[in-house]
């Protein structure tokens, strides 16, 4: 199920608008917009997270000395 990118409310498909409408805040989005927002708000992959953590650790390690 899709969650609203604004308020994390439930998105319900409205066939008359051919859009997903948020039950909580009323935001209406089509599929493309949902995908776009999801990538914008950084649903980063676990691999990317791991890389970031490794870099942070190395930074910490190098400043420690
Ligand atoms: Zn919402």
Q: How many Å lie between the centroid of ligand 1 and the Cα of residue 7?
A: 4
Q: How many Å lie between the centroid of ligand 1 and the Cα of residue 6?
A: 5
Q: Which of 43, 37, 7, 38 is nearest to 22 (CA)?
A: 7
44 in any annotated domain = yes
Q: How many Å lie between the centroid of ligand 1 and the Cα of residue 11?
A: 7
38 in any annotated domain = yes
- Decide the pairing of beta strands 28-29 and 19-22: antiparallel
Say how far apart CA 28 and CA 5 lie, in whole Å: 11
5 in any annotated domain = no
pLDDT of residue 48: 75
Q: How many Å lie between the centroid of ligand 1 and the Cα of residue 32?
A: 16
Helical H segments across 1-65, by residue range = 31-40, 46-64
Helix (H, G, I), strand (E, B) or coil at 5: coil
pLDDT tens for 35-47 read: 887 787 665 667 7
53 in any annotated domain = yes
Q: How many Å lie between the centroid of ligand 1 and the Cα of residue 28?
A: 9
pLDDT tens for 15-32 read: 999 999 999 999 999 989
What range defines the domain where residue 50 resides?
A: 11-64
The radius of gyration computed from the CA coordinates of the chain, to the nearest angstrom, equals 18
């Amino acid at each position: 199920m899709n969650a609203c990118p604004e308020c994390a409310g439930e998105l319900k498909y409205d066939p008359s608008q051919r859009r997903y409408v948020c039950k909580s805040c009323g935001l209406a989005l089509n599929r493309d917009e949902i995908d776009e927002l999801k990538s914008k708000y950084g649903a980063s992959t676990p691999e990317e997270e791991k890389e970031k953590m490794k870099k942070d650790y190395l930074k910490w390690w190098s400043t420690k000395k």
